[in-house]
Structure formats: structure tokens, C-alpha cells
Structure 1
Amino acid sequence: MKAKLGVSALVLLFLSGLWLVAAPFAVGYQSRGASYVDATVNDLWVGGGLAAVSFVALVIYAADSLRELARRGKHADL
């Protein structure tokens, strides 16, 4: 149960980070071709960092789960 909650939180954080990166362009407060305003730069850095950290955490969780499955499979043959 705790693992599902943690993975769900990481997925939501990852999607939130992606939204922060896309929001200035999707919502339209960053004009096309204009230099980036401070809010856009902030959204790109915070959203990119949030997405990157949560993606790395998801990859680590997946690798740990695969390692645990391999360990269980190795011991099942004995």
C-alpha cells in the first residue's frame, strides 16, 4: 500500500514538473519569439528540476523492484 502511494506521488510530481515546463507556452503568458520573462525562466527551472528528480526516483524504484524480483526468482529455484 505504501509503495503504491509513493509511486503515485512520484508520478504526480513528474507530471506537475512537465506541466510547469509547458505552462508558459500552453497558457500563453510567454509570447512566441520574445525573450523569456522571469516567470517563464522560473517555471522552466523549477519544472525541469521537479520532473528530473521525480523521474530519477521512479527509475531507482523500478530498478530496486526488478532487483527484488530477480532475487526472489533466484531463490525460488532452490
Structure 2
Amino acid sequence: MKAKLGVSALVLLFLGGLWLVAAPFAVGYQPRGAEYVDATVNDLWVGGGLAALAFVSLVIYAADALRELARRGKHAES
């Protein structure tokens, strides 16, 4: 149960980070063809960092889960 909650939180953080990256363009507060406004730069850095951190955490979690499954499979064969 705790693992599902943690993975769900990481997925939500990842999606939130992607939204922050897309928001300036989707919502329209970044004028097309103009130099990036401060809010856009902030959203890109914070959103990109948040999405990257969540993605790396998900990959680490998945690798650990696969390692645990392999360990259990090895013990089951013995």
C-alpha cells in the first residue's frame, strides 16, 4: 500500500512538472515569438527540475523493484 501511494505521488509530481513546463504556452501568458518573460523562465526551470527529479525517482524505484523480483525468483529456484 505504501509503495502504491509513493509511486502515485511521484507520478503526480512528474505530471505537475510537465504541466509547469507546458503552462506558459498552453495558457498563453508567454507571447508567441517574444522573448521569454520571467514567469515562463521560472516555470521552465521549476517544472523541468520537478519532472526530472520525479522521473529519476521513478526509475530508481522501478530498478529496485526489479532487483527485488529477481532476488525473490533466484531464491524460489533454489
Using the size of structure 1 for normalisation, the TM-score is 0.99
Structure 2 unmatched ranges of 5 or more: none
Separation of aligned partners in 1, 2:77 and 2:9: 35
What is the RMSD of the two structures over their aligned residues, measured on CA atoms? Answer: 0.3
Match of 1:34 in 2: 34
Separation of aligned partners in 2, 1:42 and 1:6: 27
Separation of aligned partners in 2, 1:77 and 1:27: 55
Match of 1:17 in 2: 17
The number of residue pairs the alignment matches comes to 78
CA apart distance, 1:16: 0.1
CA apart distance, 1:42: 0.2
Structure 1 unmatched ranges of 5 or more: none
CA apart distance, 1:66: 0.2
Q: For 2:43, give the aligned amino acid.
A: D
Separation of aligned partners in 1, 2:11 and 2:21: 15
Match of 2:67 in 1: 67
Separation of aligned partners in 2, 1:75 and 1:2: 24
Question: Following superposition, which runs of at least 4 residues in structure 1 exceed 2 angstroms of deviation?
Answer: none
Cα deviation digits, residues 51-78 of structure 1 (max 9, x gap) = 0000000000000000000000001011
Using the size of structure 2 for normalisation, the TM-score is 0.99
